[in-house]
Amino acid sequence: MLSVVDYKQQMELDIVKREALERHLDFLVGQTERYTRDLTAALAPPAPLSLAAVEHAAALAHPQTGPTSTVARRPVSSLLGTQLEVF
């Protein structure tokens, strides 16, 4: 009779252990997914700048003195030294 009680207690203990292992596994899978997502975002190439964004940055870097400014206007690509991709 005592062995039946021991067996039942062991089965209940095994169920509790299995549930704890399942929760831990779910946690580890969630952590792995989160790290993978963050790593993928960190390794993704940066989005190319649009022509408007580059022109805006160039205008901020080289402000004109007024509407009658005599500053020679150069193409934005000459400021960067590269060809720009227009979106």
Q: What is the pLDDT of residues 11-50, one digit of tens each?
A: 999 999 999 999 999 999 999 999 999 999 888 887 777 7
76 C-beta neighbours (distance < 10 Å), count:
16
> Rounded CA gap, 25 and 46, in Å?
34
* Average confidence score pLDDT of the chain: 80
Percent of the residues in the chain that have a pLDDT greater than 70, as a whole number:
70
The domain limits of the chain are 1-44, 46-63+73-87
The confidence band for 60, taking pLDDT boundaries of 50, 70 and 90, is confident
pTM given for the model: 0.47
| HEC secondary structure over the chain | CHHHHHHHHHHHHHHHHHHHHHHHHHHHHHHHHHHHHHHHHHHCCCCCCCHHHHHHHHHHHCCCCCCCCCCCCCCHHHHHCCCCCCC
The reported pLDDT for the residue numbered 78 is 60
